[in-house]
Amino acid sequence: MAFLEVRNIEKSFGKVEVLKDVSFDLELGEVLSIIGSSGNGKTTLLRCLNYLETIDGGAVSINGEIILDEEYGDRKNPKNKKISINRKHYGLVFQQFNLFPQYTALKNIMLPLELREKERKKKGLNYLDNKQIEEESLELLKKVGLEEKKDNYPCELSGGQQQRVAIARAMVLKPDILCFDEPTSALDPELTGEVLKVIKELKDEFKITMIIVTHEMEFARNISDKVLHLSKGKVASFGTPSEVFDNPANDDTKQFIASYERMKNE
């Protein structure tokens, strides 16, 4: 049994089938990169995993426990009540950083923790006080190299810095799996490098399981334990970087890699 098992996911929007029989496994601490050209279902797959879309078929389990299947889409089904709990398995970093503009960098990271600890206090459970929340959040800000920006507002930070704050915020509740949807595609090339470096450091230091949708092929090759090529909503290839990039058995993947190589050499 793998840590994360994604089985036969199906998703349509109206008559358009966007995900078809998508399956893959991930072990604890592994990094998966999802690659593929535009419109092939990469964002939809991440959104389905994170309960931002319902699925039409298939299932997802963590440590053998099913945390998503098609019944989660039915409002009347009691499983729906578990969505807010199950969602906590994931942290999500979007292409646009989505920070709260009215709060400082540090406060943006503290907010999710403040909300959770307030709930814990209400329920009579152990909870972190404000000082502890601030300390934990500052620790994460240090990890992404932005301690000195703690009192700055998002508009006072570069895109790369904002994205690093967003990464720290996604980690503050200690999710099992950190998901990124093209975390660098809104950034200039020089800022892309600093964000990719932070993701690499998080992998090395925390051994956190990650799913990264990316167009950065060199990064995907270097950081990933597994690579998944999504083509027309199907898993065209799934394997180690070397299996997918160097020796793809699948014709769609061969073409995709070849067109990337051509672009690189232009």
Ligand X SMILES: Nc1ncnc2c1ncn2[C@@H]1O[C@H](COP(=O)(O)OP(=O)(O)OP(=O)(O)O)[C@@H](O)[C@H]1O
Residue 192 binding ligand X, by CB under 6 A: no
- Residue 18: contacted member of ligand X, Mg ion, none (CB under 5 to 8 Å, by partner type): ligand X
When the beta carbons of 44 and 86 are compared against ligand X, the nearer one is 44
Q: Which does 15 bind (CB under 5 to 8 A by kind): ligand X, Mg ion, none?
A: none
224 binds, among Mg ion, ligand X, none (CB under 5 to 8 A by kind): none
Which one of 44, 224, 231, 253 is in contact with ligand X (CB under 6 A)?
44
Our finding on whether 18 is near ligand X (CB under 6 A) is: yes
Q: What x/- string results for residues 40 through 79 when contact with Mg ion is judged by CB under 5 A?
A: ---x------------------------------------
Structure tokens at 171: 């980690």
The yes or no reply on residue 13 touching ligand X (CB under 6 A) is: yes
Buried b (16+ CB within 10 A) or exposed e, 40-77: bbbbbbbbbbbbebbbeebbbbbeeeebbbbebbeeee
Q: Is 38 a binder of ligand X (CB under 6 A)?
A: yes
CA separation for the pair 27, 211 (Å, rounded): 11
Q: Determine, following the binding rule CB under 6 A, whether residue 126 of this chain makes contact with ligand X.
A: no
Element (H, E) at 57: strand 57-62
Cβ closer to Mg ion: 43 or 253?
Answer: 43
CA distance 167 to 198: 9
CB 128 within 8 A of CB 82: no
Residue position matching structure tokens 């995709």: 256
| Spatial distance between the Cα atoms of 234 and 17, rounded to a whole number of angstroms | 10
| Segment near ligand X (CB under 6 A); pick from 36-44, 122-130, 134-142, 242-250 | 36-44
- Which region, judged by CB under 6 A, interacts with ligand X, from 38-46, 70-78, 80-88, 190-198? 38-46
Position among 6, 31, 35, 41 found at the interface with ligand X (CB under 6 A): 41
Contact 253, 241 (CB under 8 A): no
Torsion angle of alpha carbons 97, 100, 105, 108, nearest 10°? -100
Binding site for Mg ion (CB under 5 A): 43
Binding site for ligand X (CB under 6 A): 13, 18, 36, 38-44
